[in-house]
């Protein structure tokens, strides 16, 4: 199990040393963001040692239909072979209509490390909102590749599915245009709940379909809700959405998955397949709060204002809390 390892607030590398401490204490492996090989070299020097090598999420502007982007991915794959387990890059809207070109591009990337055991996996992440069936079809077309596989971002899948379902009932209204304080919500709340409830079955079916191909699948795990303004996902699985009225005895709405949905996803994702177990990363961005540094106080002796250190410590605590939810659904980890 991995979690996002990065500096979430402004400050020096002491923030990453705090992350290293918390990851080591929790037994977490890392997934890091990197826009360049030099950036990755730097952050790998701060990632805690772990039996599972890091996964690297490449720049979101990487588009493997473009030759320059493919060369960037290839450079990462060659330079960090044996040091990272996988490289993740997003799909793009244009890929839906350029399937043949995409297959050729992915095969070209796969050829870079063919026959070399240390070559990292190349994971195409569900991000552009294509129909899940099309995503599976693409995976089928590259099932014979050695290093290419898929990444399921459960937040992206869930938000898109909820919006699609809601649009079938209300074709003149985008679910994402509603907010918790929208005056229309009390009349629409049952349809909103029904739409959100379709997210989990969709993720589980997509997971089963990709697992049948027999290759490792990478997961980005985070929760959310389409009513949340702005970035509607990348939240903790302990998040609920406050509303200004009572619904089913509560003044809040459950998120896409919650702890129970997460347990179902983890159970499906970690079911053995012919290519081995899949991998999981907690990709939680949004967690605002402050937590005293405790045993990490001495790390920040040179800081006069420790507000951002405490904000970072809080975010790391949220990652650890969510990792405990996952561990509750799997076997205990060993050091």
Q: Determine the pLDDT at residue 332.
A: 41
- With 0-12 / 13-18 / 19 or more C-beta atoms within 10 angstroms meaning exposed / middle / buried, residue 246 is exposed
CA distances from 117 to 120, 146, 217 (A): 8, 10, 17
3-state secondary structure of 282: strand
Do residues 116 and 78 lie in contact, with contact meaning Cβ atoms separated by under 8 Å? no
- What gap in Å lies between CA 220 and CA 237, rounded to an integer? 13
Do residues 279 and 216 lie in contact, with contact meaning Cβ atoms separated by under 8 Å? yes
Q: Determine the pLDDT at residue 112.
A: 85
pLDDT, tens digit, 9 for 90 and up, residues 298-331: 999 999 999 999 999 999 999 999 999 999 877 6
Lowest-pLDDT range of 69-73, 114-118, 225-229: 114-118
Do residues 157 and 206 lie in contact, with contact meaning Cβ atoms separated by under 8 Å? yes
63, part of any domain: yes
334, part of any domain: no
Please count the structural domains in the chain: 1
**What is the DSSP-derived secondary structure letter of residue 13?**
T
The pTM of the whole model exceeds 0.85: yes
- What gap in Å lies between CA 128 and CA 146, rounded to an integer? 24
Rounded average pLDDT over 238-255? 96
Q: Determine the pLDDT at residue 115.
A: 63
| CATH number of the domain encompassing residue 167 | 3.20.20.150
pLDDT, tens digit, 9 for 90 and up, residues 6-26: 999 999 999 999 999 999 999
135: CB partners within 8 A, 6+ apart: 91, 126, 150, 206
96, part of any domain: yes
The overall average pLDDT reported for the chain is 94
| % of the chain residues with pLDDT over 70 | 96
pLDDT, tens digit, 9 for 90 and up, residues 102-160: 999 999 999 987 766 689 999 999 999 899 999 999 999 999 999 999 999 999 999 99
At 270, is the pLDDT very low, low, confident or very high (cuts 50, 70, 90)? confident
286, part of any domain: yes
113, part of any domain: yes
- Structural domain for 178, as ranges: 2-327
At 334, is the pLDDT very low, low, confident or very high (cuts 50, 70, 90)? very low
Q: Determine the pLDDT at residue 276.
A: 60
333: pLDDT strictly greater than 50 = no
- What gap in Å lies between CA 240 and CA 253, rounded to an integer? 6
309: CB partners within 8 A, 6+ apart: 11, 14, 15, 18, 293, 296, 299, 300, 303
272: pLDDT strictly greater than 80 = no
- What gap in Å lies between CA 224 and CA 238, rounded to an integer? 10
80: pLDDT strictly greater than 70 = yes
Rounded average pLDDT over 237-261? 96
* 79 CB-side CA count, 13 A: 15
- What gap in Å lies between CA 131 and CA 96, rounded to an integer? 9
Q: How many CB atoms lie within 10 A of CB 136?
A: 18
Q: How far is CA 11 from the centre of its chain?
A: 24
pLDDT, tens digit, 9 for 90 and up, residues 82-118: 999 999 999 999 998 999 999 999 999 999 877 666 8
- What gap in Å lies between CA 45 and CA 93, rounded to an integer? 35
332, part of any domain: no
**Three-class DSSP labels, 78-135:** HHCECCECEEEEECCHHHHHCHHHHHHHHHHHHHHHCCCCCCCEEEEECCCCCCHHHH
278, part of any domain: yes
Could you give the angle at which helices 99-110 and 132-141 cross, rounded to 10 degrees? 50
Rounded average pLDDT over 272-297? 88
- What gap in Å lies between CA 263 and CA 328, rounded to an integer? 8
Look at residues 148, 139, 149 and name the one whose alpha carbon lies nearest to residue 107.
148
Q: Determine the pLDDT at residue 133.
A: 95
6, part of any domain: yes
3-state secondary structure of 171: coil
210: pLDDT strictly greater than 50 = yes
pLDDT, tens digit, 9 for 90 and up, residues 164-192: 999 999 999 999 999 999 999 999 999 99
Q: Determine the pLDDT at residue 278.
A: 84
């Amino acid at each position: 199990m991995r979690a996002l390892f990065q500096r979430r607030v402004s400050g020096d590398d002491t923030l990453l040393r705090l992350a290293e401490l918390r990851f080591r204490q929790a037994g977490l492996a890392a997934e890091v963001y990197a826009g360049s090989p030099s950036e990755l070299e730097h952050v790998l020097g701060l990632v805690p040692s772990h039996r599972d090598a890091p996964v690297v999420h490449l720049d979101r502007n990487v588009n493997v239909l473009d030759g320059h982007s493919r060369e960037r991915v290839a450079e990462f794959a060659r330079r960090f072979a044996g040091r990272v387990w996988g490289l993740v890059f997003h799909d793009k809207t244009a890929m839906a209509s350029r399937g043949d070109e995409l297959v050729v591009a992915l095969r070209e990337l796969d050829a870079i490390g063919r026959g070399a055991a240390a070559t990292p996996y190349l994971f195409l992440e569900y991000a552009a909102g294509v129909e899940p069936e099309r995503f599976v079809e693409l995976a089928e077309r590259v099932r014979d590749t050695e290093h290419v596989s898929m990444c399921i971002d459960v937040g992206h899948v869930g938000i898109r599915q909820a919006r699609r379902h809601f649009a079938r009932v209300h074709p003149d209204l985008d679910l994402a245009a509603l907010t918790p304080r929208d005056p229309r919500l009390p009349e629409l709340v049952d349809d909103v709940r029904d739409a959100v409830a379709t997210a989990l079955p969709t993720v589980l079916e997509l997971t089963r379909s990709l697992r049948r191909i027999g290759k490792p699948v990478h997961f980005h795990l985070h929760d959310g809700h389409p009513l949340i303004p702005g970035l509607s996902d990348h939240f903790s699985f302990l998040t609920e959405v406050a509303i200004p009225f009572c619904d089913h005895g509560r003044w809040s709405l459950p998120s896409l998955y919650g702890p129970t949905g997460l347990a179902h996803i983890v159970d499906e994702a970690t079911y053995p397949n012919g290519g081995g177990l899949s991998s999981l990363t907690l990709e939680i961005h949004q967690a605002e709060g402050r937590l005293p540094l405790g045993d990490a106080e001495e790390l920040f002796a040179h800081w006069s204002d420790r507000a951002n250190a405490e904000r970072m410590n809080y975010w790391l605590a949220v990652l650890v809390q969510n990792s405990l939810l996952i561990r509750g659904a799997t076997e205990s980890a060993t050091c």
